[in-house]
Amino acid sequence: MKIPACGFVFFYPIGYFWISQILELNKQPFLILAICLILGIFFQDCFSLDKNTICRISGISFLLLVPAFFNRYMLYKIRPCLLAITFFAVGIILHFFNTAPVQNLKIGKNEEIVFKIAKKLNSNLKNRKYEAIVRAGKEYFNAVVYVPKKERVLDFNHYYKTRAYVSKPKTPPYDFQFDYSKYLKRKNIEYQCYINDEVFASGRNDLSLNEKFSQRRLEVLQRIDKIEWSPASGEFLKGIVLADRTEIDEQTVRDFSRSGLVHFLAISGTHIVVIFGLFYFVFVSILPLKFRKFAIISSLIFIWLFTAFIGFGSSVVRSSLMLSIYFIYVILQRKTDLLHSLSLSALIILFFDTRLVFDAGFQLSFLAVLGIYWLNHPILRYFPIQDNRLKKIIFNTVSISLSAQLATLPLVLFYFHQFSFISVIANFFIVPFSEVIIISSFFMTALIAADLDFDRINGNYDFMIQLLLKIIHWFADFDSLFLENIPMNGVEVCFLFLIIYFLRFAVERFNARNSGKVVMAVILFLTVRIGFNLYMQQQDEILIHDFSKHKLLSVKKGNRACFWMAGDSDQKKIRQYVINPYCASRRIVKAEIRIFPEYTRKVSYNGKIYKLD
């Protein structure tokens, strides 16, 4: 077995930084413990140790740790190593208990089910999707429930009863396809329920505190839908403040993706800092100067209430934790440290749920902060002198955005295989105004939550967001600057992180030695990349792909491929979910689509017959 690629490439950038600090380990203890915990999680995910082995590991790690607190020599010389081993073992143990065993439930294909929703997911053209806790007969399980759009919108105030087709998501046959079953399993979900009958509702009186928050948030989302403005503005407001992008239209998603501004739509550290600043400004204005600490504490309390209200998303929790740890340092009059805050927040989050380390959003979120720590100050030195507040805000915002983009670029290429050169320019123009947009959106949400409707304010906000979306759409239309199907594997990602690691020293002090390291890293990356390209060019293959109710045939020769499909196939979706991933995985330079007759059942190629039915 091998460590999953997502974990492998996530650990590498942290590992490079760790090596750079190897002579000063005592200054970054939390970072090292977090790395050891993550390594333990990857180890358990790779080898799946059984319960008896886990018990032995628990006992050994405890026995190793005990002497460190009684022996003075060990206290100074060996304790860091023992702590590292212990946290590695803790990662193994926690991931064992966080990974649910495979359920072998006695469930028929067509069952009468009773369920309550746990989370709203992205809708598709036919159905709304929800994570739900389901009962079928005497069996309880977690599932993704597909509800036809003709049915009422579900909420947290009711139990629902209906008939549904119950199935397990299938593992894809080819390595280039997204493994949805594995994705769901990491969330302890093993079933999908497709509702095929009328849905009956019955009231609930047993809502948990978290469900009450979720229901209140859902009510605010529904009020936003009733405002008389453009649907795009409403969906933007839901996404930027309430972390709900489940109903956002495909064109808006495409525009944000192609312009490199997806991070602006998703709630992240920038949003939390701005909202915290808003709360802090209000409390400082109300309270006397001697109660400054109470203003910080009150602002943090409201930030955590807001985090609970929007559903404890991983990036929001990370940002709120980091902010809380930072200001706890301030209140205790301790020196603040970005890496301490980042590492402590990672430890806390992973202690509660180790599976989050495999989530792309979690990885990108932490890498962005690590990139800001590693590159922001060196990049900021190349900007003009910041002799006033406006320049400081604009230049800091741009340098932070650039640092985060550089740090996350390797993983973005690895997961999404696309990059837009226009994103640098788009971020330069849009991000400096993010504070105004976030505050305006938060103010609008507060008014709607309080059931206050002011047509003029609504109209002004709608105008501002429509203008913003038009600008983003204009950036997204630079097709010549957008690259897709970029091939990238774990080894190449590691060399890209190596380039970014050495880039800091070249930016800080541009000389022959530092620039030479960057050049050598680039040469190594290109050598490895050319090697993989040449290897894939030698591989020819013919595959039968299943998509929806259709099948298609792909023929690969060298770095070219031809796809044969029926005339009534949805070419747009097939290109998105089959052709593009295949081209990125197999390093295809040119892909051609051809149509075969509608009633074709067999295809003969090079003396072999391939069945399409």
The reply to whether 219 falls in a domain is: no
- Per-chain mean pLDDT for the chain: 85
With CA atoms as reference, report the closest residue to 315 among 356, 277, 355: 356
CA 182/CA 98 separation, integer angstroms = 15
pLDDT confidence of residue 75: 56
Query: What's the Cα-to-Cα distance from 294 to each of 283, 285, 291, rounded to whole Å?
Result: 8, 12, 5
pLDDT confidence of residue 76: 57
The reply to whether 104 falls in a domain is: no
pLDDT confidence of residue 74: 53
Q: Is the dihedral of CA 160, 162, 166, 172 positive or negative?
A: negative
Count of residues in the chain: 613
How far the first Cα of the chain sits from its last, in Å, is: 35
- Mark whether 321 and 418 lie in a shared domain: yes
- Mark whether 463 and 580 lie in a shared domain: no
The answer for 332, left when phi > 0, alpha when psi is -120 to 50, beta otherwise, is alpha
Model pLDDT for residues 437-457, shown as the tens digit of each residue: 999 999 999 999 988 878 889
- Mark whether 366 and 465 lie in a shared domain: yes
The reply to whether 319 falls in a domain is: yes
pLDDT confidence of residue 19: 43
- Mark whether 453 and 313 lie in a shared domain: yes
Residue 487 φ then ψ, to 5°: -70, 135
- Mark whether 174 and 318 lie in a shared domain: no
- Mark whether 339 and 411 lie in a shared domain: yes
- Mean pLDDT confidence for 126-141: 92
Give me the number of domains the chain comprises.
Answer: 5
pLDDT confidence of residue 25: 45
CA 358/CA 295 separation, integer angstroms = 36
Model pLDDT for residues 492-546, shown as the tens digit of each residue: 999 999 999 999 999 988 899 999 999 999 999 999 999 999 999 999 898 888 8
Instruction: With cut-offs at 50, 70 and 90, classify the pLDDT of residue 547.
Output: confident
pLDDT confidence of residue 607: 66
The reply to whether 218 falls in a domain is: no
- Mark whether 83 and 195 lie in a shared domain: no
Helix 269-286 and helix 292-309: axis angle, to 10°?
140
Strands 560-566 and 590-596: parallel
Query: What's the Cα-to-Cα distance from 267 to each of 61, 262, 434, 483, rounded to whole Å?
Result: 39, 10, 12, 26
Q: Identify which has the larger pLDDT, 197 or 386.
A: 197
CA 596/CA 552 separation, integer angstroms = 9
Instruction: Tell me the two tokens of residue 181.
Output: 């079953």
Q: Which three-class secondary structure state does DSSP give residue 463?
A: helix
Instruction: With cut-offs at 50, 70 and 90, classify the pLDDT of residue 18.
Output: very low
Which residue range forms the structural domain that includes residue 45?
Answer: 5-98
- Mark whether 136 and 284 lie in a shared domain: no
- Mark whether 408 and 548 lie in a shared domain: no
Instruction: With cut-offs at 50, 70 and 90, classify the pLDDT of residue 69.
Output: low
Write the burial class of residue 236 (CB in 10 Å: 0-12 exposed, 13-18 middle, 19+ buried): buried
pLDDT confidence of residue 17: 46
- Mark whether 270 and 290 lie in a shared domain: yes
Q: Find how far residue 172's CA is from the centre of its chain.
A: 22
The reply to whether 87 falls in a domain is: yes
Alpha-helical runs (H) found in 287-430: 292-309, 314-331, 338-352, 360-380, 389-416, 422-430
- Mark whether 197 and 77 lie in a shared domain: no
pLDDT confidence of residue 408: 92
Flag whether the pTM goes above 0.85. yes
- Mark whether 302 and 387 lie in a shared domain: yes
CA 588/CA 559 separation, integer angstroms = 5
pLDDT confidence of residue 77: 60
